[in-house]
Amino acid sequence: GGCAAAVTTPFDVVKTRLQTQGVNSATRYATTAVVPLMRRIAAEEGWRALMAGWGPRVLFNVPSGAICWATYETVKTALGGTPGGSGGHH
């Protein structure tokens, strides 16, 4: 989950900018196309702006993924699946 969170951060930045356009700043976008918006953000603010918030996203997603998988494995075992195995299906 942590790697995926880091890789998808630029898309999250674009999504957040579109959702908050005109609210947190006067910036309005003429398009909702992802690639042109990434280029505009990079041109106006630098490529680093597309990675804004990657640290908190990764720090949130790593433990979240671990909790999810631990819960899944615990429930699977409690319901009769084999721990660490394929659940007994062949």
Tens digit of each residue's pLDDT (9 = 90 or more) over 47-74? 999 999 999 888 888 888 899 999 999 9
Q: What is the mean pLDDT of residues 10-27?
A: 87
What are 60's two structure tokens?
């949130």
Instruction: Check if the beta carbon of residue 1 is closer than 8 Å to that of residue 62.
Output: yes
pLDDT at 3: 84
What average pLDDT is seen over the chain? 86
Q: How far apart are CA 26 and CA 60, in angstroms?
A: 30
| The residue count for the chain | 90
Angle made by CA atoms 71, 72, 75, in degrees to the nearest 5: 80
